[in-house]
Structure 1
Amino acid sequence: MKSSSLRAARLLRTSALGVSLAVVAVSAPAFAQDAADTAADDGNSDIVVTAQGRAQRLADVPVAISAVNAETLQNSGANDIRQLNQVAPSLLVSSTGSEANGSARIRGIGTVGDNPGLESSVPVFIDGVYRSRSGIGLNELGEIDRVEVQRGPQGTLGGRNSSAGLISIYSKKPSFTFGATGEVTYGNYDFWRLGGSVTGPLGDTLAARIDGVWVKRDGFYRDTTNNTDVNDRNRYFLRGQLLFEPTDALSIRLIADYTYRDEKCCAATYIDNSVNPYIGDLNNPSTPLTPLQPNGNNIINVLRDLGQPLSALNQGYGRAISVSPGRSFAGETKDYGFSGQIDYDFGGATLTSITGYRQYRSSQASDTDYGSVDILYRAPSDDAYRQFHTFTQELRLNGEAFDGKLDWLIGGFYANEKLTVRDNLRFGNQYGRFATCRLISGGGLAGLYSPTSPSCIIPGVGPATITGAFGAAAPAILGALTALDGINDRGSTNDRYFQNGTNWALFTHNIIHITDKLDLTLGARYTNDKKKFSATFGNDNTGCTTVQGLVGGLTSVPALAAVTQGLIGLACQGNSTAELNGVSIRDKRSEDEWTGTAILSYKPIDDLLLYASFARGYKAGGFNLDRSALKPPLVTFASVGGAQALVGNLQFDPEKVDSYELGAKYSTGPFSLGLSLFRSDFRNFQLNTFNGTVFLVQNINGCKADLGGGDRDTSAATGACAADNVSWGVRAEGVEIEASLVPARNFRMAAGLTYANTSYRNNLVGTRLGAPLDPALRKLPGDNLSNAPELVATGSVTWTPELGSSGLTGLVYIDGRMTSDYNTGSDLFPQKEQDGYALFNARVGIRGRDEKWGIEVWAQNLFNKQYAQVAFNSPFQAGTTAAPFVDPQYPGGRQIFSQFLAEPRTYGVTLRGKF
């Protein structure tokens, strides 16, 4: 954690800049406007949203919501939800090791990590259909009508429950007037994007629309070992629609879409002290190997001696990546589905039915250690993927009663999600030597270090020395070192995880018009969520069972415990063991939850809305789809009753939130201003983090009693809390300001400012029963959540001047997003801190009469700001903590860190046509 003085100084500096951006949008534009599909340049058109299940003017909706229209999306260059970051200050979308599980955060809250067992805190809906994980929204979106970003828990409407907010994307409907659009874009990195649409009538009551996008681009990273680029683009998207309106009362809309991606993703680079000063001299290898030297870093020496170029460890923001020969980041994604929406007006009530079926399948190979030494990998394979089959059905009936005093809505929602994950994660061809060298180099036996020799020990001298050090246990230890040295290209052959989830809910949402100016909104929802889980493992790592057989009985001997535990830990990392080969496990869970909302809103004048609200939100519990969570690797499965006896360790509890908000909206047409103050308290916050060895999925709660620092140390035995003292563990509180101004017909300014203190409680526990926090999370208490900057300022300026009397118009557009410091790692290690930064996009162009044609020059990340999306512990690349191998200068081990970089500057030219 940063010192309080340093954090205060940086916050003061960025706060001053943020206020300047928000107040003086024209001099330093940022962006977070409330726009909509009907907004015009004069600013007098009503903004219409459907956030409450009905079409309403944005200014009349007493909830925090940002709505963005098609023109704004086009100007900002937004093609997927990641680029909405420039559109709403409270939103942050990022992707890490796989775009299949990109993460969206609102007010600093989101689902962290790359585990498909966790549902999204900020789900994505496209045309009213729930998408199983928010990362699915990283596809191309085609022609979009508008996007609505709702902030805060959605515990009543919105299809599936969400604990932090949701993103609703609405595509353009078919039109009964013929029209067509086309777009050609070329940019740096040999970027090509072709897009187009055709719409028109097929009769008096039937209209159709087809949208298509094709994208190709070179990668942002260079893999010189395998002579290829990584993080490239090669994808296409198709969507067809039919709109049937036989009468004024009935509308039927059918949509089918298909997305295909064949891309290499996602590479990472090492962090050095030029990127983050907290790294210090970690990446400065000592020569010769001297563990007692204060600046020594033996893990760097091991990597160097096994083939890792040291230049990669000190390249700053360079994008030359380290990859083992023959390893790949190749991936293939197929996403398709069908939906149908029926709206029928009975006269006194309107029925809406939305039916959807989606199938999503993504395979992703990786050099999972992100270095040149072949430690860990996933091979390209049709048998390694994650796949969702999702069916959803929503019904809503809404109308008026008591002479318009009541706007009522009742409804139901059903979802069935079948999730399949197949994995082939394996230790690489150099893992055994890497593991033994990691042990030998760590401390007391460093003089035996010989990376070119079996077991990484000097022949003759080494075995004799070990015999002298360990006496009668030496043969077992030497045998275990030999077995560990032989663990190469071993691990999962075909791990299969299956989850069948059923979710259904009944809800009601009612607006009571107490007077012409005073409304009371009451909503309630009952949700039932069930999940059935099973898994079958395939594994050929016999080295784990061999090591356990040789030294497992010595782990309780005090003088040998650290050594033998270190050997077993490295041989059986992540429960990769042949003992699981052919083993199946299964489990199930069920939840029933009540959620809802209450809002009191008041309009003292037509242009001003004041409101106060309470909402209870919920996100379902589930299963950690990772065998590493079954048990610590120091004992065999047989000794604890088998894998089935431990299956309960994979479960995590539902996340719950109570949220309070005060807000005001002022709108006069050309000028609008929104203000909201919020506080949300989360219990059982679902956190997924990688500790350098395994993925941890843990609920986070707070303790009302002082734990005396027991939650901030490396002991797993301290920091417990009495169950009746367990309370919320995460709090998000702050203020949001959004404003827009249209001082002239062709000129628009918008600005936004979000201050969100999203932090953990000072005293934390790991479960609702008060069990201690995992030691790997010891940095969490009292600090801000990852990827949760306290201050974000955004804004934009759009100028579309008339050029003479020929109908030509110009376009000058710029937007920006400024963010204060934040930590990008979910365990909040200081080496993962990211300094504050500002991003700007710009677009300049000229358009023909009625925008029949246009040419635009654009740039994203205009000033080529380099920063990290997420930093993480480099897999297995840490110094050992097992005595006598431990370095006394670094008793906790020395971890190397890597990062997923954000996109660099891109620029290009776009030609548009419209008929």
Structure 2
Amino acid sequence: MNLHYSRCLSASALSLFSLLPVTPVNASELAPSSDTQLQPVTVEARRRSEDAQQVPTAMTVIEGQALEAQRLYRLQDLQQAMPSLGVAFMNPRQASLSIRGLGNNPASDGLEGSAGIYLDNVYLGRPGMAVFDLLDIEQMELLRGPQGTLFGKNTTAGVLNITTRPPSFTAQGSVASSLGEDGYVQNRASFSGPLSDTLAGRIAAYRTHENGYVENQYNGNTLGGGMRQGVRGQLLFKPNEDFNLRWLADYNEEDSSAGTRSLFSTGPTINGVNRYEQRAADVGARLVTGRRVNLDADQNVKVYQGGTSLEANWTLPNDFTLTSITAYRWWDFTPHNDDELNVDVMQNVGQSARDKQYSQELRLASPLGEHFDYVLGAYYFRQQMDNSVFTYYGPLADTWNGTPQGALNNVSSIGNGSVDTDSFALFGQGTWHLTPKLDFSLGLRGTYERKQASVTRDAPIGGATVSGSAAAVRASRTGAYDSGDLSLYSFSPSLLASLAWHIDERTLGYASLSHGEKSGGVNLSVASAPVAGADSLLIGSERANDAEIGVKTTLLDQRLLLNANLFWTVVHGYQTNAYDDANLTSYLTNAGTVRSRGLELDSTFRASRGLTLNLNGSWNDVRYLSYDDAPCPAEVALRPGAPASCDLSGHAVVGASKWIANASANYQWNLDNGLQPYLTGNYAWRSHAVGTVDDSREARVPGYGLVNVSAGLRGDWATGGWDVSLWLKNALDKTYYTTLWNSPNGAYTGVLGTPRTLGMTARYDF
């Protein structure tokens, strides 16, 4: 899948979403006539290579050069460039993608996300599988709304489709090095070329190190940074024009203190007492805020992951195309987390995860240009997820938790969970070209999934011998438990019906209705199961109905793209991650019914030969239509006689900013000596959002805007070209949070975004 931008186009230009297709148009009729015009974009949103103008899905596409120009190297950075996108990031395990406010489910080992992530046509079972430096990328497509009809797993919110650069039969390479504040060093290289007349290869590698930007006052160390590195190798076998075989393999690892949480709020003061501050004083803890923490134990995460895939494409007689994609991936995550205090309340707490997945997809695509064209396919996915939940209490645990003395002090608790998933699907989607101006598309998918799971917890280790209330608390918090065999079986249909009207040569209108479902999930931690029963560990399916209407225009002699769409989505059985104050643990739940409605806008303007401007944005109103058994916020839960649950019907959904706007500009010009200076800048703004599922007034994420700028100079040398740039990220040094989290005793903590960082990059392409 290639994004064809000519060299004259700004590297930071964003190609904007395409609306519904019409009868195929001869490419020469729409080809730009000058280098001041925008170039066509090729995507695979309908599982075949097509001009994005012909795709019946609202989408935003960013090509790899734009990612590099704006230094968008991490998954959590993408929300600075795409409308309706949110990334809640704490560490690679506790990361999630939300589209139109739907899908914010961090740290849910027993649940797939509502927003699917694909890497080179392979579905990633964990969002953390995409948490590596996004280098050597060909392009990214954000498809908004249910996409289950054609994609390998049902996705009720949308899809982020990532494609890496393929091997080339022309020798080429690139090396780059970056230096920045806070010990930032990044080196990367890629090389590609022919190995024979029919075989080409590509290899790309990177290593990134940064010290971090959060000061630990306990020992003077800096946290939030670390090391990430990876390598990807590819081979492309192409004996003729009718067959090609692409093999990919990659490996990535991380050793960092990602996920270091700063104190956002100490929670409510009730009857003149702030419980968090009071108990912190009782254990002798010293509280700090901002870009400072006070941790007496290690803060570290280690991630090892890799995978391989084999994609074959045959052109059959009569121009049918048969595609086979076989893939295997694995992901290992191990944390060491402090209790956020400088005293010995907990020595280590967290969840490690081990994931393996296998998938096989077969597709048959009919030729384009007929009265009716279609794609048919079958898909199999198997995932094996195992996790370990561990808590090592220190000698001050009971004072901090308000439990009877001896109940938790110096006690260790370890639990294990596992879930095996088998998913089978058949799918098809076709487009009827009813008239030269009118297309009708219909898609159907049936997915059957079975999940086999178990959750256990070992008997507690350590601690003093206790009886009475202390023994009861120890048993409820850390007692041995075995859920036995748990099973989930589900059949999930997905549907799409859309109509496209080619109003004139440069204007498309569309309307669509779609339905998406995804299967239920399993809580892989004990939580309240000993009291509520093993069935409480299971949650039901999530079902989304979506309606859209939109228009796409190409104006001013193909210099301006201006696209807009309206959408209305209702999700039943919305799956989310809540917090249990009594057991101090997160758990999965079906949070009633959610409505997401809004307006999205994308535009690109080629103002002159050297100046390209981009503006995109969204207005999303995302609320619970009904959620009457929700967790209570701290200001309610900590009051005497507090209810067991609260009604959040009508409240906004966690992490969903109502307003999002992203703007970028790139200006470049040529000097007489062949040098090319350039300037780039972008501004990303989002309004405030609910920080946690309970919608506490103590956990509202403030709105913020980020400014990134750079200036550089390009030139030719030998057989290649060099590029040197100076860049400034978060130029106004805005303090902002990527996610918030519930903490014990009513407090809320959060992960801070990157502060102002000055750096420079030198690059040579040949």
Q: Deviations over 1:832-870 (max 9, x none)?
A: 112222111111100013971010111221111112222
Is 1:537 the counterpart of 2:503? The answer is: no
User: Which residue number in structure 2 is paired with residue 759 of structure 1?
Assistant: 623
The 3 A distance-change label for structure 1 pair 731 and 544 is farther
Residue 673 of structure 1: SS of its match in structure 2?
strand
Equivalent position to 1:393, from 360, 365, 372: 360
Separation (CA, whole Å) in 1 of partners of 2:17 and 2:186: 26
User: Which residue number in structure 2 is paired with residue 599 of structure 1?
Assistant: 498
Is 1:527 the counterpart of 2:527? The answer is: no
User: Which residue number in structure 1 is paired with residue 187 of structure 2?
Assistant: 194
Equivalent position to 2:512, from 608, 613, 628: 613
Q: Deviations over 1:240-291 (max 9, x none)?
A: 0001100110011100100011112211122349xxxxx57x4xxxxxxxx9
Aligned-residue offset at 1:780: 2.4
Is 1:409 the counterpart of 2:375? The answer is: yes
The 3 A distance-change label for structure 1 pair 101 and 504 is farther
Separation (CA, whole Å) in 2 of partners of 1:522 and 1:298: 57
Equivalent position to 1:836, from 703, 723, 732: 703
The 3 A distance-change label for structure 1 pair 247 and 424 is same
Deviates further, 119-128 or 623-632? 623-632
Equivalent position to 1:135, from 128, 131, 134: 128
Is 1:817 the counterpart of 2:668? The answer is: no
Separation (CA, whole Å) in 2 of partners of 1:545 and 1:407: 73
Is 1:911 the counterpart of 2:759? The answer is: no
Aligned-residue offset at 1:355: 1.0
User: Which residue number in structure 2 is paired with residue 652 of structure 1?
Assistant: 539
Separation (CA, whole Å) in 2 of partners of 1:764 and 1:35: 37
Aligned-residue offset at 1:73: 0.8
Separation (CA, whole Å) in 2 of partners of 1:146 and 1:366: 35
User: Which residue number in structure 2 is paired with residue 738 of structure 1?
Assistant: 602
User: Which residue number in structure 1 is paired with residue 411 of structure 2?
Assistant: 490
User: Which residue number in structure 1 is paired with residue 743 of structure 2?
Assistant: 874
Separation (CA, whole Å) in 1 of partners of 2:255 and 2:498: 47
Residue 761 of structure 1: SS of its match in structure 2?
strand
Is 1:267 the counterpart of 2:243? The answer is: no
Aligned-residue offset at 1:900: 1.9
Is 1:108 the counterpart of 2:101? The answer is: yes
> Counterpart amino acid of 2:546?
S
Contact 1:269 1:322 in 2 (8 A): no
Separation (CA, whole Å) in 2 of partners of 1:272 and 1:261: 29
RMSD: 2.5
Aligned-residue offset at 1:764: 3.4
Separation (CA, whole Å) in 2 of partners of 1:253 and 1:259: 20
Q: Greater Rg, structure 1 or structure 2?
A: 1
> Counterpart amino acid of 1:131?
L
Residue 502 of structure 2: SS of its match in structure 1?
strand
Separation (CA, whole Å) in 1 of partners of 2:715 and 2:460: 66
Residue 108 of structure 1: SS of its match in structure 2?
coil
The 3 A distance-change label for structure 1 pair 128 and 431 is same
Equivalent position to 2:553, from 666, 687, 704: 666
The 3 A distance-change label for structure 1 pair 569 and 830 is farther
Separation (CA, whole Å) in 2 of partners of 1:113 and 1:910: 33
Equivalent position to 1:253, from 246, 252, 255: 246
Contact 2:282 2:400 in 1 (8 A): no
User: Which residue number in structure 2 is paired with residue 780 of structure 1?
Assistant: 648
Separation (CA, whole Å) in 2 of partners of 1:32 and 1:133: 27
Superposed, 1:850-889 pairs within 5 Å as: 852-875=721-744, 878=745
The 3 A distance-change label for structure 1 pair 832 and 205 is same
Separation (CA, whole Å) in 1 of partners of 2:550 and 2:184: 43
> Counterpart amino acid of 1:323?
L
Q: Deviations over 1:39-98 (max 9, x none)?
A: 9963332111110111121122221010111221111101122111121121111212x3
User: Which residue number in structure 2 is paired with residue 336 of structure 1?
Assistant: 306
The 3 A distance-change label for structure 1 pair 613 and 307 is same
> Counterpart amino acid of 1:322?
N
> Counterpart amino acid of 1:530?
R
Contact 2:17 2:563 in 1 (8 A): no
User: Which residue number in structure 2 is paired with residue 447 of structure 1?
Assistant: none
> Counterpart amino acid of 2:561?
S
Separation (CA, whole Å) in 2 of partners of 1:750 and 1:407: 34
Contact 1:31 1:752 in 2 (8 A): no
Name the structure where helix makes up a greater proportion of residues: 1
Name the structure where strand makes up a greater proportion of residues: 2
Equivalent position to 2:386, from 420, 423, 435: 420
Separation (CA, whole Å) in 1 of partners of 2:325 and 2:119: 11
Aligned-residue offset at 1:681: 0.3
Is 1:320 the counterpart of 2:292? The answer is: yes
Equivalent position to 1:225, from 201, 213, 218: 218
> Counterpart amino acid of 1:675?
A
Contact 1:59 1:666 in 2 (8 A): no
Superposed, 1:33-52 pairs within 5 Å as: 33-34=15-16, 42-52=36-46
The 3 A distance-change label for structure 1 pair 779 and 902 is farther
Aligned-residue offset at 1:35: 8.1
User: Which residue number in structure 1 is paired with residue 750 of structure 2?
Assistant: 899
> Counterpart amino acid of 2:155?
S
> Counterpart amino acid of 2:273?
G
Is 1:169 the counterpart of 2:162? The answer is: yes
Contact 2:729 2:758 in 1 (8 A): yes
Aligned-residue offset at 1:776: 6.6
Residue 305 of structure 1: SS of its match in structure 2?
helix
The 3 A distance-change label for structure 1 pair 899 and 135 is same
> Counterpart amino acid of 1:870?
T
Is 1:431 the counterpart of 2:413? The answer is: no
Which consecutive unaligned segments of at least 5 residues does structure 1 have?
1-29, 274-278, 283-290, 440-480, 552-566, 633-639, 641-645, 702-728, 768-772, 879-894
User: Which residue number in structure 1 is paired with residue 333 of structure 2?
Assistant: 362
The 3 A distance-change label for structure 1 pair 110 and 658 is same
Contact 2:265 2:747 in 1 (8 A): no
Is 1:576 the counterpart of 2:478? The answer is: yes
Aligned-residue offset at 1:542: 7.5
User: Which residue number in structure 1 is paired with residue 152 of structure 2?
Assistant: 159
Contact 2:156 2:516 in 1 (8 A): yes
Superposed, 1:205-220 pairs within 5 Å as: 205-220=198-213
Q: Given the two structures, how large is their TM-score scaled by the length of structure 1?
A: 0.76
Separation (CA, whole Å) in 2 of partners of 1:199 and 1:298: 60
Separation (CA, whole Å) in 1 of partners of 2:390 and 2:75: 30
User: Which residue number in structure 1 is paired with residue 24 of structure 2?
Assistant: none
Q: Deviations over 1:97-121 (max 9, x none)?
A: x322311111111132312112111
User: Which residue number in structure 1 is paired with residue 664 of structure 2?
Assistant: 796
Residue 225 of structure 1: SS of its match in structure 2?
coil
Equivalent position to 1:239, from 189, 211, 232: 232
User: Which residue number in structure 1 is paired with residue 171 of structure 2?
Assistant: 178
Contact 2:88 2:106 in 1 (8 A): no
Contact 1:184 1:194 in 2 (8 A): yes
User: Which residue number in structure 1 is paired with residue 577 of structure 2?
Assistant: 688
Separation (CA, whole Å) in 2 of partners of 1:502 and 1:373: 45
Separation (CA, whole Å) in 1 of partners of 2:189 and 2:686: 35
Equivalent position to 1:76, from 70, 79, 85: 70
Separation (CA, whole Å) in 1 of partners of 2:185 and 2:17: 29
Separation (CA, whole Å) in 2 of partners of 1:568 and 1:795: 59
Contact 1:31 1:795 in 2 (8 A): no
User: Which residue number in structure 2 is paired with residue 891 of structure 1?
Assistant: none
Residue 100 of structure 1: SS of its match in structure 2?
coil
Residue 231 of structure 1: SS of its match in structure 2?
strand
Q: Given the two structures, how large is their TM-score scaled by the length of structure 2?
A: 0.90
Q: Deviations over 1:206-255 (max 9, x none)?
A: 10000000111102222232443321121211000001100110011100
Aligned-residue offset at 1:775: 5.5
> Counterpart amino acid of 1:588?
S
Aligned-residue offset at 1:599: 0.5
Separation (CA, whole Å) in 1 of partners of 2:35 and 2:689: 36
Is 1:371 the counterpart of 2:350? The answer is: no
